[in-house]
Amino acid sequence: MDSFFSMTGSYIGFDFKSLLLFAVVFIFTADYIKNRRPAGFPPGPRALPIVGNIFTVDQSRAHESLTELTKTYGDVFSLRFGQKWAVVLNRLEALKEALVTKGDSVVDRPDFPIQDDIAGGLGVIFSNGNIWKQQRRFALSTLRYFGFGKKSLEPVILDEYSHCAKEFRSYKGKAFSPHLIINNTISNIICHLVFGRRFEYTDEKFKTLMLFFGKALQIEGSIWPQLYNSFPWLMRCLPGPHQTVKQIWSDVKDFIRIELNEHKKTWDSSEPRDYIDCYLNEIQMNKGQEGNTFDDENLIICVLDLFVAGSETTSTTLRWAFLYMAKYPEIQEKVQAEIDRVIGQSRQPSMEDRAKLPYTDAVIHEIQRMGNIVPLSLPHGTNREVQLGGYTIPKGVMIIPNLASALFDQNEWETPFTFNPGHFLNEEGKFVKRAAFIPFSAGKRLCLGENLARMELFLFFTSFMQHFTFSMPDGVDPVLDYCSGITLAPKEYKICATSR
């Protein structure tokens, strides 16, 4: 009897192993058949079963990793993330073909479960179709009204600079971290635009909100969102940083919701004070209309989008600016000499000065190029079959624009890996535009806050150079390495800002 049970147990054990082996072989075979590259699809590295190329790309330097793959697979190649295909575009020609020439075919955002769980397909950054068209059109017109129309933001920016400069002077030339101060400064411009008011730098709730933004963007640039988007049914149940980022954005939405409710108490449709007032007017005017996308929830996500797009990128660029000026004091001196000659010390800069400050403008552009703030832009998605780089890309494929490949292309820049303002100057010393300078992306999904960002960068940078000289603490060399995330920020540093 014992031998019978022994034989039966062995048989069952063997049968289970066989079943397990069969299941594994079946899953791998099905995965291979289902996810073979379609005919005419761009080449790319071999993908692992189930996970694809998630671990092929080094997430700590994703843009460099993708640029390296062009040596093997060309400027247009493909990767697989989980069960979804992506096509990576490198260098100016491929980027322009997709984003500009054939922009209508790649204007969508791909399906991102983590973004759907956070924003529900609303807002102006990750929305598609009618929602995106209506929200982007409204956002652009409102930004134009407050930024360049009847209520210019130029005096608001210069006033906020005075608050920031006061903070800098309080350190009396001693080393300090500019990170949180600059974040608060730039975010206050968005606060003025959206909420109609600024927050004091000592406001603990506001400071916490700014730290949340940085942490959330760093997590979103890691492998966790990729795993979430590839296996949402699993990741929704598991703990990890992906749950942290969802909680952060939930807290930010609650903060915006409180501000919205306060606005409603004093809202006057005849005299809009800010973005929220304009949006409340739009909700009222569009009530009951077919295809209307204006409501409180969309407003909250749009405000969130404006904060993320309009604060983190500009503040990160300025933090790079301080580092580069400390690294290259001779360039800093030339900028200051030009500003002293054109503006002097007795008045504030104005946007009208930009044309008279070609060297300063060139330095700002070179900071943006070398800082490489958003190297992979934001992914696009094909809404129909399209030909790119001679390959056939089906509908529903993610498109990754590697902007860094254009910003550092040896065929486009004389010294691509060297900080050189001469890239933007001609022989007469006049400022020149460069086609490969696309830090704001291109086409219909071009950063909607580009004009505001350009205004902020010019006025803040020129004001800082007019009144301060930046240097590293004694015995410390500038570190120009970055921390990876959705944006590439400089590693934490301390700097000395000496009043001129």
| pLDDT above 80 (res 389) | yes
pLDDT for residue 152 is more than 90: no
pLDDT of 396 higher than 90? yes
- Looking at residue 176, what DSSP letter applies? B
What's the confidence (pLDDT) of residue 25?
59
Residue 172 CA to residue 134 CA, distance in Å, equals: 49
Half-sphere exposure of 258 (CA within 13 A, CB side): 6
The residue among 185, 203, 187 whose CA lies nearest residue 195 is 187
pLDDT average, residue stretch 417-431: 96
Between residues 224 and 371, which one has the greater pLDDT?
Answer: 371
pLDDT bracket for residue 4 (50, 70, 90) = very low
> How confident is the model over 248-281, as pLDDT tens digits?
999 989 989 998 999 999 988 888 889 999 999 9
The whole-number pLDDT of residue 122 equals 95
**416 touches 410 (CB < 8 A):** yes
Percentage of the chain surpassing pLDDT 90? 66
Query: What is the average per-residue pLDDT within 294-314?
Result: 90
DSSP 42-104: ---PPPBTTTBTTTTS-GGGHHHHHHHHHHHH-SEEEEEETTEEEEEEEHHHHHHIIIIITGG
- What are the tens digits of pLDDT across the range 307-326? 888 788 899 999 999 999 99
Distance between CA atoms of residues 118 and 122, nearest Å? 9
Closest Cα partner for 114 from 269, 295, 243? 243
Instruction: Return the minimum-mean-pLDDT range out of 45-59, 92-106, 204-218, 432-446.
Output: 204-218
pLDDT level of residue 72 (50, 70, 90 thresholds): very high
Residue range 190-212: mean pLDDT, rounded:
85
Q: Residue 42's pLDDT is what?
A: 96
Average pLDDT over residues 427-432: 95
- Going by C-alpha positions, the residue among 407, 390, 371 that lies closest to residue 490 is 371
Average pLDDT (445-459) is: 91
Which bin fits 169, alpha (ψ -120 to 50), beta or left (φ > 0)? Answer: alpha
CA angle at residue 221 from 55 to 176, to 5 degrees?
A: 130
Q: What's the one-letter identity of residue 187?
A: S
pLDDT of residue 2: 54
Residue 330 amino acid letter: E
Share the mean pLDDT of the chain: 89
Q: What is the mean pLDDT of residues 382-400?
A: 95
pLDDT confidence of residue 485: 75
In this prediction, residue 16 carries a pLDDT of 59
**Which of 447, 378, 310, 292 lies closest to 115 in space, CA to CA?**
378
Average the pLDDT over 148-157 and give the result: 75
Which option is the CATH number for 35-319+380-415: 3.30.70.330, 1.10.630.10, 3.90.1010.10, 3.40.605.10? 1.10.630.10
489-490 vs 482-483, strand pairing mode: antiparallel
The residue type found at 365 is H
Q: Distance between CA atoms of 190 and 192, rounded to whole angstroms?
A: 5
| More reliable by pLDDT, 432 or 234 | 432
C-alpha angle with apex 464: 458 to 470, nearest 5 degrees? 125
The tokens for 493 are: 């540093």
pLDDT at site 220: 84
Tell the residue number behind the tokens 């990876």, with chain if given.
484
Q: Beta 398-402 vs 84-90: how paired, if at all? A: parallel
Does the pLDDT of residue 164 top 50, yes or no? yes
Task: Sheet with 84-90: list strands edge to edge.
Answer: 76-81, 84-90, 398-402, 380-381
* pLDDT, position 5: 44
pLDDT of residue 18: 66
The domain spans of the chain are: 35-319+380-415
Q: What tokens were used for 78?
A: 């493909």
Using DSSP's 3-state secondary structure scheme, residue 412 falls into: coil
CB 53 within 8 A of CB 62: no
Q: Reply yes or no on whether the pLDDT at 170 is more than 50.
A: yes
pLDDT digits (tens, 9 = 90+) for 115-141: 999 999 999 999 999 999 999 999 989
What amino acid is encoded at 130 in this protein? N
**What ranges in 200-328 are assigned the alpha helix state H?**
204-220, 223-230, 232-235, 241-266, 275-286, 296-307, 313-327
Amino acid at position 337, single letter: A
In the predicted structure, residue 242 carries a pLDDT above the cut 50: yes
The percent of residues above 70 in pLDDT, for the chain, comes to 92
